Amino acid sequence: AQKITQTQPGMFVQEKEAVTLDCTYDTSDPSYGLFWYKQPSSGEMIFLIYQGSYDQQNATEGRYSLNFQKARKSANLVISASQLGDSAMYFCAMREGLGDTGRRALTFGSGTRLQVQP
């Protein structure tokens, strides 16, 4: 079974508008962390935002926010006020276990390619 599912292979958004990238996950571990990474065409993986399974509030980092719905096992990324430089692949990832417990590697989704149009 897929641990991380990103159902949108590609998305378009107009500059200055907000966009939501979907991510659902599957785990039986009550302790886990959810991550979003951005991968521009240059190839580097850029960390955007993190949400721990016990965090009470949705994570926010500047224009990025994570809409964490634990019961639905979803962790959607919201980008507000899109910019042309936001055009990239976006990957959702999960690590089961927290801190120095559990499996340390990240499991990645297949990604969503976001294109911001002027």
Partner 1 sequence: GAGVSQSPSNKVTEKGKDVELRCDPISGHTALYWYRQRLGQGLEFLIYFQGNSAPDKSGLPSDRFSAERTGESVSTLTIQRTQQEDSAVYLCASRATGPSLDYEQYFGPGTRLTVT
Convert 26-64 to b/e letters by CB count within 10 Å (16 or more is b): ebeeeebbbbbbbeeeeeeeeebbebebeeeeebeeeeb
Query: Contact between 110 and partner 1 (CB under 8 A)?
Result: yes
Count of chain residues binding partner 1 (CB under 8 A): 26
Query: Contact between 58 and partner 1 (CB under 8 A)?
Result: no
**Nearest distance in Å: CB 51, partner 1:** 10
Query: For partner 1, what does the binding mask look like between residues 72 and 91, x meaning CB under 8 A?
Result: -------------------x
Query: Contact between 38 and partner 1 (CB under 8 A)?
Result: no
Cβ atoms within 10 Å of 67's Cβ, excluding its own? 16
Chain-centroid distance of CA 38 in Å reads 9
* Phi, psi dihedral angles at 45 (to 5 degrees): -95, 120
**Where on the chain is the footprint of partner 1 (CB under 8 A)?**
4, 33, 35, 37, 42-45, 47, 50, 52, 91, 93, 95, 98-100, 103-111
